[in-house]
Structure 1
Amino acid sequence: MRQRRFLLCVFWLLSASALKAQEQPEDSTQFTVEEMVKFALINSPLVKISELDAEIGDRQIKSSLSAWLPQVSANTQWSNNLKLQTQPIGDQLITFGQPYSGNLNFTVDQTIFNRDVFLASKGSSLARNQLSQTMETQKIEAVITVARAFYDLLLSLEQIKVFDENIVRQEKQYKDARARFEAGLVDKTDFQRASISLANIQSQRNRLVSSLDAKYSYLKQVSGYPLDQELTLHYEYGEMAKRAELDVAPDFIMENRVDYQLAKTQYSLSELETSYSKWAYIPAIKGFYNYNFLFFNQNFSGLLDESFPTSALGLSASIPIFQGGKRSDEVRLARLKQEKSLVSLNNYEKQLNTEYETALADYNANYFAWQTLQDNLDLAEEVYNTIKLQYDEGVKAYVDLVVAESELRTAQINNYNALYSVLSSKLDLQRAMGLINPSSIESSF
């Protein structure tokens, strides 16, 4: 019976462990580019700051709009009138007041019209659009920055793999050349060349390895990933090659760009500022209600025994009559700023069109170069394999093998550099076309 209970306990423990293992990811430190970007959109300092700026701006809007609501305040004052006021009335001197006095005043103000509050009300929707569009623009920048850092680190890792393969191949060639020299088949220059080539490859590999820590740190910085945690990139060359393809036709629709929408919102705000400056001629009007409790007595102890309240209800208006030409100058200034904003918007439209044309040209050029270098890589591999066979048979000199091996390594490195350039220029083209959508990363990549 005890044995049966023990077996049941073991079974439940193993089942719980298996279930827990299924609930957790196999490796939470391994990221694809989409997963890295999604992580950054939550944890990136740039995104967090933009979200805080949006929240700060929203609170400022709500604070400004609160002026439309009734403003209630209370004031109180208590005095010991050390010297009472004396006034001559006829041939007598009359003393006014009591030694102790106080008051408790409640005031309610209701804004009916005020140009500052009216501007806040009219511009609240535009201001919120501006905050939202600014935050979206910052998220797009975060996506591009993190993706580029990911691709740059990926490029270095792939180049290190190329050098590792070349080192293995070069070490074998060095051993073969030394064996041939010791057998008296060739002179010592063959294995000396192999030694020099091997040292050069190892030096280039070490330079790349030394740069990895800095590139990992930069990727962690821009994505908000903890510096003290391990980070592993998950990728496949074939998958990266597929990403180089642009899935949609490169049609340029300027309204798709969030930063262009932001520029139009800023122009609309400049139009509102012009209207605001004209409202300076309109009086500020508010309603008010006061209720005041007055207290006074000969003795401090009896000050609160009896109150003498007063109250008032009314309207107040502040009418600007003459301000030395300030209002007309402010209207002209606002119009000039609006005109400047319109010129800037028109120029920005041209700038965005130029950016699109440049990004499209760069992408097409880089994509064509990558396709060409892929063909060169196939040829370099074929040439190397042919010369390697000829060298092994004693037909070709070792120097030809060294040249072929160097050309193969160069073709491999150039191929990865070209792929990185295509991926990077694709990001620029997607941004120029307004295709990067932070809320749907899968469709953006």
Structure 2
Amino acid sequence: MNRLKVYNCISAKFSISVGFLLSPFFLFSQSVLKDSLLQEVTLKSAVDYAIVHQPQIQQSLIDQQLLETTIKSKLADWYPQINFNYNLQHNFIIQTTVIGGNRVKLGVNNTSAGLFSISQVLFNKDVLLANRTKTDARLQARQLTSNNKIELAAEVSKAFYDVLSTQQQIKVSTTNIQRIEQSLKDAYNQYTAGIADKIDYKRATIALNNSMAAKRSNEELLKAKMETLKTLMGYPVSANLNIVYDSLQMEKEILLDTLQKANYAARVEYKLLETQRRLLQYNLKYNKWSYLPTASLNGAYNLSYQNNNFSKLYDNNFPNSYAALTLGFSIFQGGKRKAGIQAAELELERNNLDIVSFKNVVNNAYTQALANYKSNLENFKALKDNLVLAKDVYEILRLQYRSGIKAYLEVITAETDLRTAEINYYTSVYQLLASKIDVQKALGQIVY
């Protein structure tokens, strides 16, 4: 949308011909915006959209790219390092020394040098660590992204169900308002016919006002819940979400195998801890490698030009070259290496305790999620039966009231019971689906 505003400003300032030239950009930007929206938002499409567009997931993918560039930067030290240095120097005062009683100048007025150097690392603990850990480092980055996707999928699913629950409450209120309006009409007709007093008519009016207030309240809540879902999805704020769902299909999806056992090994968090343990094991080796010497091959070829006359500086070259093997030994560092090894061992031990703790957390989380699911399942079954009964009671009392057998108060009570039964039923459906997500997450069955 910002791009469209910029193009509109440009076309207003420039001539019509320039406007025609820019028109393809208008069409392109509009097409991109249109393609980024969903015509119909199902649970699956909402989660898929969030996985692609949510900023947190995009940041995780960028972190993977940053890690890849860091690995390449570290591994580049394994390759031969070739350098060239150029120097041009004029000596205002040449160093003089006395040799055999004679004063001798050491050097000439003008010098120039070109240094080609090459070095090859044979052993260096930093480069070796980068080479050994690159696979696990990449795996850890992918696992972190996967974990973020799983968390996001669960949050989007729950927000989606929350929106559906509120939408159903609005629909229930709409249906209830229609029923009360019909009851109000019946009560008014009986009042005008002298069959009943105005109390029934006023009670129906009160019930209608309450239902309309409840509907308006849910409509405002729905706006907030829609914005929450948009935020989780990374959906444009100015766009609308056209939520579609199959209530019958959702009711079929509520069942879950409750005989499954907690499997912490299937959780991506456990895999992350295992990857972290391997990286910590490499870190321990890295600190132990600090006792080993560094080794490298070095070589250079130097071009050396010297002349007192600057114009003839490059007439004569006095080159030199060398090759060397360099070994570096660290003899004493004040106990730094020993402390580093101890710290690495403690970090590894702490990671092992993290794994033990995580196993207990998974078992507890699964137990809690399963208990919540079973509780919601029983509640769903009871509320489903209550809904059927409430409908039957309301229809019977409504007919009896029209026949003059029952008082209108009983009809109002039946309407309230029916509305409550409908709201409770639909709420129980979405609570059950949300609790099912918690069970699946605890079992590690949500995978990305």
Q: TM-score, normalised by structure 1?
A: 0.89
Look up the SS of the partner of 2:255 in the other structure: coil
1:409 matches 2:435: no
Aligned ranges 1:80-99 → 2 under 5 Å: 80-99=90-109
Tell whether the 8 Å contact from 1:267 to 1:345 is kept in structure 2 after alignment: no
Aligned ranges 1:204-219 → 2 under 5 Å: 204-219=214-229
Whole-angstrom distance in 2 between the partners of 1:211 and 1:345: 41
Report the Cα offset of residue 209 of structure 1.
0.8
1:35 matches 2:51: no
Whole-angstrom distance in 1 between the partners of 2:231 and 2:114: 58
Look up the SS of the partner of 2:322 in the other structure: strand
Tell whether the 8 Å contact from 1:383 to 1:404 is kept in structure 2 after alignment: yes
Partner residue, 1:121: 131
Whole-angstrom distance in 1 between the partners of 2:101 and 2:399: 136
Selected match of 1:109 from 119, 124, 129? 119
Report the Cα offset of residue 252 of structure 1.
2.7
Whole-angstrom distance in 2 between the partners of 1:268 and 1:80: 57
Partner residue, 1:347: 357
Look up the SS of the partner of 1:331 in the other structure: helix
Whole-angstrom distance in 1 between the partners of 2:120 and 2:162: 60
Partner residue, 2:442: 432
Report the Cα offset of residue 402 of structure 1.
1.0
Superposed CA RMSD in Å reads 1.8
Report the Cα offset of residue 195 of structure 1.
1.1
Whole-angstrom distance in 1 between the partners of 2:302 and 2:259: 74
Report the Cα offset of residue 255 of structure 1.
1.6
Selected match of 1:378 from 388, 394, 399? 388
Selected match of 1:138 from 135, 145, 148? 148
Look up the SS of the partner of 1:252 in the other structure: coil
Look up the SS of the partner of 2:319 in the other structure: strand
1:177 matches 2:187: yes
Partner AA of 1:160 in structure 2: I
1:265 matches 2:266: no
Report the Cα offset of residue 228 of structure 1.
2.6
Aligned ranges 1:273-292 → 2 under 5 Å: 273-292=283-302
Partner residue, 2:211: 201
1:56 matches 2:66: yes
Whole-angstrom distance in 2 between the partners of 1:60 and 1:163: 58
Q: TM-score, normalised by structure 2?
A: 0.89
Tell whether the 8 Å contact from 1:45 to 1:222 is kept in structure 2 after alignment: no
Cα offsets for 1:373-430 (capped at 9, x unmatched): 1011111111111111111111211111111111111111111111111111111111
1:222 matches 2:232: yes
**Greater shift in the superposed pair: 220-229 or 275-284:** 220-229
Partner AA of 1:98 in structure 2: V
Partner AA of 1:169 in structure 2: R
Identity of aligned residues (%): 36
Tell whether the 8 Å contact from 1:370 to 1:415 is kept in structure 2 after alignment: yes
Tell whether the 8 Å contact from 1:45 to 1:223 is kept in structure 2 after alignment: no
Partner residue, 1:441: none
Structure 1 gaps, min length 5: 1-23, 439-445
Whole-angstrom distance in 1 between the partners of 2:141 and 2:356: 22
Look up the SS of the partner of 1:129 in the other structure: helix
Partner AA of 1:303 in structure 2: L
Whole-angstrom distance in 2 between the partners of 1:205 and 1:77: 83
1:393 matches 2:403: yes
Selected match of 1:189 from 199, 208, 211? 199
Cα offsets for 1:336-380 (capped at 9, x unmatched): 111111111111111111111111111111111111110111111
Report the Cα offset of residue 169 of structure 1.
0.9
Whole-angstrom distance in 2 between the partners of 1:247 and 1:360: 10
Look up the SS of the partner of 2:103 in the other structure: strand
Q: Which runs of 4+ in 1 moved over 4 A?
A: none
Report the Cα offset of residue 231 of structure 1.
2.0
Structure 2 gaps, min length 5: 1-33
Report the Cα offset of residue 249 of structure 1.
5.3
Tell whether the 8 Å contact from 2:262 to 2:362 is kept in structure 1 after alignment: no
Whole-angstrom distance in 2 between the partners of 1:106 and 1:214: 67
Report the Cα offset of residue 214 of structure 1.
2.2
Partner residue, 2:334: 324
Report the Cα offset of residue 177 of structure 1.
1.3
Partner residue, 1:100: 110
Selected match of 2:174 from 164, 171, 185? 164
**Greater shift in the superposed pair: 318-327 or 301-310:** 301-310
Tell whether the 8 Å contact from 2:273 to 2:351 is kept in structure 1 after alignment: no
Tell whether the 8 Å contact from 2:307 to 2:313 is kept in structure 1 after alignment: yes
Partner AA of 1:426 in structure 2: K
Tell whether the 8 Å contact from 2:258 to 2:370 is kept in structure 1 after alignment: no
Partner residue, 1:154: 164
Report the Cα offset of residue 279 of structure 1.
1.0
Change (3 A) 1:248 1:61: farther
Partner AA of 1:93 in structure 2: R
Partner residue, 1:296: 306
Look up the SS of the partner of 2:314 in the other structure: coil
Tell whether the 8 Å contact from 1:77 to 1:102 is kept in structure 2 after alignment: yes
Partner residue, 1:5: none
Tell whether the 8 Å contact from 1:29 to 1:230 is kept in structure 2 after alignment: no
Partner AA of 1:287 in structure 2: L
Tell whether the 8 Å contact from 1:46 to 1:142 is kept in structure 2 after alignment: no
1:369 matches 2:379: yes
Whole-angstrom distance in 1 between the partners of 2:144 and 2:429: 31
Whole-angstrom distance in 1 between the partners of 2:154 and 2:215: 28
Partner AA of 2:382 in structure 1: T
